[in-house]
Amino acid sequence: MIMGWMADEYASIVGEATPAVITGKPIALGGSLGRDDATARGGYYLVQRLARQLALEPGSRVAIQGFGNAGQHIARLLGADGYRIVAVSDSKGAVHCPSGLDIGKLLAAKRQGSVTDLAGTDGVSALPADDLVSVDCELLVPAALEDMIHEGNASRVKARVVLELANGPVTPEADEILASKNVVVLPDILANAGGVTVSYFEWVQNRQGFYWPVEDVHARLKTMMEREGDAIWALARDKGITLRSAAYVHALSRLAGAIEAHGTQQFFTS
């Protein structure tokens, strides 16, 4: 809605339709198919790609912190592959079911209020929201706010893998604690980059005036997540560093290449 208004405002200022000026637009104004679940889907493709190295497989247990857009979609995508979503939290609290929560019921409960409304049904128990990070599981997915895994609770994490769908959910201090426990963190700037990547696809489609079917959006996103995921995995292994450091090294080497290639034109014109 907001992005549509902004695109429309810009169009009236310049006097012509210019959809590529802004992304995240409604489909009717030139938005891309597949933008709605792009953040979760990017993380999902990354998990799929690295599953063998991470010793994850259908049946592995997943805890999801935060049940907004990214949390709901990752539950749906991993659930469809046979992963067991054993705990989910939202702003009201958390629910836990060691044999796996019913995704359809979770989504319905959230639509009508909160996932906590499921507590007390079919072996589902309530859990303090703060305890979600220490639930027994293989994969922990922070999909809420910044700094949720910190110095004070990182040592209680039982998962072997953390998929950062939120921005900055693990503090630098917690990073060190997790690394010392051999917990693998799939870092935000890679793990949740599906959103910005499909925004980029929207811009490309707007500039081409050629709109892709959703299957094409998914296939291209998958290719890019796998390509960058593989590169960062290899970099981390070769240098013996965490995936987060490797992701920053990967990005920084691209930025450095561009900065050096640009030169310092302003020195010669002023």
Partner 1 sequence: MHAVSMLDQALTRLDEAARHLALDADVLEKLKYPRETTKVRLMIRMDDGSRKSFMAWRCRYDDTRGPTKGGIRFHPASTMEEVETLAFWMTFKCAVMNLPYGGGKGAVQVDPHTLSKAELERLSRA
Residues that bind partner 1 (CB under 8 A): 2, 5-6, 8-9, 24, 147, 167-168, 171-172, 188-190, 192-193, 196-197, 199-200, 224, 228, 232, 239, 241, 244-245, 247-256, 258-260, 262
* 147 Cβ neighbours under 8 A, 6+ residues apart: 168, 169, 171
* 107 Cβ neighbours under 8 A, 6+ residues apart: 72, 75, 76
Shortest Å distance, C-beta 54 to partner 1? 19
Nearer to partner 1, 112 or 264 (CB): 264
Contact in structure between 205 and 211 (CB atoms under 8 Å): yes
Nearer to partner 1, 161 or 186 (CB): 186
Nearer to partner 1, 29 or 241 (CB): 241
Nearer to partner 1, 90 or 138 (CB): 90
Nearer to partner 1, 80 or 255 (CB): 255
* 92 Cβ neighbours under 8 A, 6+ residues apart: 113, 114, 115, 116, 129
**CA-based radius of gyration for the chain:** 20
Helix, strand, coil shares of the chain, percent, nearest 5, are: 55, 10, 35
The closest of 191, 192, 155 to 173, measured between CA atoms, is 155
Mapped onto helix, strand or coil, the DSSP state of residue 99 is coil
**Within 13 Å of residue 197, how many CA atoms lie on the same side as its CB?**
27
Shortest Å distance, C-beta 107 to partner 1? 23
Shortest Å distance, C-beta 152 to partner 1? 13
How many angstroms separate the CA atoms of 213 and 87, rounded? Answer: 34
Shortest Å distance, C-beta 232 to partner 1? 8
Shortest Å distance, C-beta 1 to partner 1? 8
Shortest Å distance, C-beta 71 to partner 1? 18
